[in-house]
Structures are given as C-alpha cells and as structure tokens.
Amino acid sequence: MKFNAVLLTALGVATSVFAHGPPQSAEAIARREALVARTTEAYSKCAAKLKSRAEIDRRDKNTESFVNKYLESRGLEANFDKRVDSAAACVLAPEQEEGPFYVAGELIRDDIREDQNGIDLLLDLQLINVHTCEPLKDVLVDFWSCNVTGAYGGIASQKTAGLTFLRGLAKSDENGVVQVLTKFPGWYPGRAQHIHIKAHVNYTVSDNKVVGGAVPHTGQLLFDQSILTEINVLPPYTTNTNKFTPNAQDMIIVNQANKTVGYEPFMQITQTGSRMSDGLLGKQTLVLDPEVVASPVGGGGGFPPPPSS
C-alpha cells in the first residue's frame, strides 16, 4: 500500500482572474506552514497503524455493507465485494477554498440527493486524528456541491434560495467513518468538478442542525481527470452548457500541486455495479488535527454559476 496522496501543505492561495478573495497575510501563511510541519511529522507515525491488515479489513467490511445496502434499495444485485485499498487514498488534509456558496445550518442527514439528476455518488470518508492515529468519531461533516448544470441550492442569485439539494451534514461513527449519498457534481466556469466539506467538533445539535462548536477543517473532494472525462459525456451531464475547466486549468488544484511534491488529492472512484448508472463509490481517508481551528484559504474559486432558469 502506498501513501501517495499525502498533502504536505495547507496553502492554497490562488491568483489570476478567479474570484478567490483577498490574499492571505504573511502571518496567516506562516501559521499554516508551521501547522503543516507539525502535522506532517505526526502523520508519519500513523502509517503503520493505517496500513495494518486489521484496519483495512474493518474499513472494507464497512464499505461493502454501505454499498450493498444501497444496491438493494435500488433492486440491484447486492454483490459488491471489491476491495478498495483503504490506505492508498490517505491524505493529510490541507485547508482549501470554502468558496462563496456555503450555507450554515443545513440538516443532519445521510442522503442529500433529493430530486436531483445525475449519477449517484456514495461518499465513504474516514477521519483520523493526526496526533493519536485513532478514528475521529462524532465529527459532523458538512457536504455541499453544485448539481449537474452547475447550480448550488440555497443561493438567491441562482434562484435557489431556500432549497437544500446536495447539502447536509453527517456524523462519523466509532470507526471515524462518514457515509453520505449524493450526486456526482456538475461544473461551472473556472472550476473542475468538486465537493466541499467542513468538519465540525465540540458542537451541539438543535432541531437536527449543528450549533456552535469549532471547525478544524475546511476542504474539497476532488476527482481524477479520467473520471471527469468519462462522466461528462454522459446524460444528464451533457445538459450542462457551462465551459468545462479541466483539473490542469483549475487554479486551486494547480496551485496546490505547484507547492507540493507528489501532490495526489483525488478520491478513489469505483463502480458499484456493472454500469456507471448503478452508482459510484468515492472513498478517501482524511488525516485531521482536531485541536486546531482552521481558516479556509481564500474566498472563492471560479466564477459563480449563472442564475437558474
């Protein structure tokens, strides 16, 4: 097993024409660099534990149960037994763009698809404490992404105010695993396809929503270009009229890659059945520092999607 996706930087300040907000101060950048140095050293101590056969078997069984339950719900043959290497996609998660489309106070739920079109995406994340190498349980993770046409729910400028599609939070279990049903996202100008995440700790819950607490991580889930190329020629993604930005031209991804030797941020994607339309599994392990209160880098990323008609 290779840890070929270890991210060694918390920097992600992109420039050029994209809407990234004001530059970060030298002091803020220095703080993040110091944090990265500390957590990188601590992370190296976790490698043996994360690569152990027992840990991988436990994770794979959890994944198989998640996928087969989904397949059964669709009336498909529930025989998913592919072993997705749980250690190979292990990343020391950097702070990335929050973007302009975060909406606080979304519902806690493990299915955020609602009535949206597109290929089902089963997100299977494991959160690991960088200091103890143990799973991080009871972390509430915010997920939000645009739909197949590039529109976000809950955004007045896109005529989706009050809508909650492709938004919600889910809690990590005793194994640090968070599992959510969503849709593979579309795209809008300036950004390749991505899903935003935000981790909440020390919170309270009221009316099925997170209240207070701290945010040790804000980041994004990214996808290999080969997957994007394959999906984007399929309906309903072909209805997206926005100019597509490949990973190599997405300045957030490029900027991270330029600052990190061996940067490999992409999720592992596996078909759950014989066809793409049967659903996709997206799997990744994120190594976080729950003791810090992180600041998202920048303020945007790409141009806002056009208003929904």
Read off the pLDDT band of 10 (50, 70, 90): very low
In a domain, 194, yes or no: yes
In a domain, 302, yes or no: no
Read off the pLDDT band of 91 (50, 70, 90): low
pLDDT of residue 32: 54
pLDDT in tens, 194-226: 999 999 999 999 999 998 898 988 888 999 999
Domain CATH number, residue 271: 2.60.130.10
In a domain, 294, yes or no: no
pLDDT of residue 97: 62
User: The whole model's pTM is what?
Assistant: 0.83
Burial 189-223 (b: 16+ CB within 10 A, else e): ebbbbbbbbbbbbebeeeeeebeebebbbbbbbbb
DSSP 19-53: ---SPPPHHHHHHHHHHHHHHHHHHHTTHHHHT-H
The CA distance from 236 to 227, in Å, is 15
In a domain, 13, yes or no: no
In a domain, 6, yes or no: no
Largest CA distance in the chain: 55
In a domain, 134, yes or no: yes
Q: Are 167 and 106 in contact (CB under 8 A)?
A: yes
In a domain, 269, yes or no: yes
Nearest to 124 by CA among 177, 75, 60: 177
Cis upstream peptide for 236 (omega within 30°)? yes
Query: Lowest-pLDDT range, 56-70, 114-128, 197-211, 253-267?
Result: 253-267
pLDDT at 124 over 70: yes
Segment holding 149, helix H or strand E: none
In a domain, 5, yes or no: no
pLDDT in tens, 131-182: 888 999 999 999 999 999 999 999 999 999 999 999 999 999 999 999 999 9
pLDDT at 75 over 90: yes
Residue 92 vs residue 124, higher pLDDT: 124
Residues, the chain: 309
pLDDT at 109 over 90: yes
Residue-number span of the structural domain to which 272 is assigned: 26-288
Counting the structural domains of the chain, the total is 1
pLDDT of residue 96: 64
pLDDT at 260 over 60: no
Burial (CB count within 10 angstroms: exposed 0-12, middle 13-18, buried 19+), residue 115: exposed
pLDDT in tens, 94-107: 566 677 888 988 99
